[in-house]
Structure 1
Amino acid sequence: MDRGRLTYAIGAAVLLSGCGMLASCKVLTVEEDRAIRARQGGALDAPGYVAGMWDDKALPAFRAAAVPLDTLASAIAQDVDRAGGTFGRRAGEGSAWTFVLEGAGRVVSVDSTSRRGQVMVALPNWPSGQSARFQIGPVVEGSAVRDALPFVTFDDFADQLVFADVGRALTARALAGVRPVAAGLRPGQTVRFVGIANIRYANAPLIVTPISLKVGRAG
């Protein structure tokens, strides 16, 4: 066999072998991958991890980082990056600033029946002049609760999937404590809150994931 035919034969054999290998491969869904990692002992029990540190570490961290609403509103109106450097934190350069804020506002509307439940709250002197959207879930945007905790970082976990699981578990734990209160709110009531928001610029719509909600007077 001459060299050209030999090269062709080898190439064909490699191609057929590769096709056989591809045919035997399976593209895994996220759920299947997570199940495999669990069987191999590489998965983290995210809800258990969160339950173990929520009361002793997470809640004290939120309380320590909480900024009065009036103080934060004034600082953000002047310079959001300076406000972030003083009162907030962010995952990296170019990311939104994460703030823990506490204060009171007037309930405008409540939707506790949809998957993306929300309470619209009018806040005094907020830079955008819009009502804040308090997410009560169960489906929410973003991972503000995780972002607010300096001791929960990507490098501490096996991969992005595990890190995302932890973020969802933290949000679920926060919302479990506020959904019953939120469902009972009525327009016109004053609600006191501690919540977390990711903010990029002063006039951005304010989307808050609440940690605490209580009916009460603003003063």
Structure 2
Amino acid sequence: MRHPTFLITVVLAGLLALPGCKLVKNEELAKAKAEGGTQAGAGASAFDPDRMARDMWGPRIVPYLEAKAGPFTEVQALIARNPDEAGTRFGYREKPEGMPWTIASRFEGRIVAANTASRAATVDVDVDGDGTADAVVQIGPVIRGTALRDRLDFISFNAFTNQIDYAQFAKSLNTLMAETALAKLPREDLVGRKLSVIGVFPLDKPGGKPLVTPAVVTLGDKS
């Protein structure tokens, strides 16, 4: 009877003898996935969603959203009258139908509630001064959804190799925003403080409080 060690050696030798066969370490596979892509051939470079997000964020994305963001009260009033008109004026959707608009807006208000127990933390903001929340703002560090990516009319799904790369870019944008715009935001003593936001939200529930993903955030005092 053959010893198990001998059998394992024979199997490995057979694998290495196969033409073109290469044993790939788990660490190498993990690294390839983390980089968001694989090399398709000689000279091909891996897709790097983090670098793409970094290169575009300051020079292009933030100025774009600052220019496109409409006043929150005006945006909400138009949504109540005609959601598609609001989407056409303040939003974007890559497909003409079947997808919700993603709206860009700006506002300043008071934080009336803070939900910071979860890593996907949020604050409720009163914009019109009546003491009740008008918007829910994500403050992370975990940011849900793809609204930042979806509001960019210069970023098309067709520019990406596949759905995975497209999703990875959205995740990289969320992570980068959290690390820059939200990193210094405290998690305590938020209620009552002013909050200024330029951000985006999907128009999937007209009439409800929008879930805003910020791009620019300024935290004020309680005075």
TM over 0.5, yes or no?
Answer: yes
1:206 and 2:210 matched = yes
What's the CA shift for 1:68? 0.9
- Of the three residues 155, 175, 178, the one matched with 2:178 is 175
1:191 and 2:195 matched = yes
Provide closer, same or farther for how the CA distance between residues 201 and 38 of structure 1 changes in structure 2, counting only shifts above 3 A: same
What's the CA shift for 1:32? 8.7
The two structures have a TM-score, normalised by structure 1, of 0.75
Is this contact kept in 2: 1:135–1:207, CA < 8 A?
yes
Provide closer, same or farther for how the CA distance between residues 54 and 185 of structure 1 changes in structure 2, counting only shifts above 3 A: farther
What is the count of residue pairs matched by the alignment?
A: 187
Which residue in 1 is equivalent to 2:33?
A: 34
**3-state secondary structure, aligned to 2:169:** helix
Q: Structure 2 CA distance, aligned partners of 1:42 and 1:204?
A: 44
**3-state secondary structure, aligned to 2:184:** helix
Q: Which runs of 5+ in 2 are unaligned?
A: 1-28
Q: Structure 1 CA distance, aligned partners of 2:86 and 2:182?
A: 27
**3-state secondary structure, aligned to 2:109:** strand
Which residue in 2 is equivalent to 1:149?
A: 152
**3-state secondary structure, aligned to 2:105:** strand
Q: Structure 1 CA distance, aligned partners of 2:67 and 2:188?
A: 28
- Of the three residues 70, 73, 78, the one matched with 2:73 is 70
Provide closer, same or farther for how the CA distance between residues 185 and 172 of structure 1 changes in structure 2, counting only shifts above 3 A: farther
1:205 partner amino acid: K
Is this contact kept in 2: 1:107–1:185, CA < 8 A?
no
Q: Which runs of 5+ in 1 are unaligned?
A: 1-29
What's the CA shift for 1:212? 1.5
Q: Structure 1 CA distance, aligned partners of 2:167 and 2:129?
A: 34
Is this contact kept in 1: 2:109–2:129, CA < 8 A?
no
Question: Whose helix fraction is larger, Structure 1's or Structure 2's?
Answer: 1
Identity %: 27
**3-state secondary structure, aligned to 1:51:** helix
Q: Structure 2 CA distance, aligned partners of 1:76 and 1:216?
A: 28
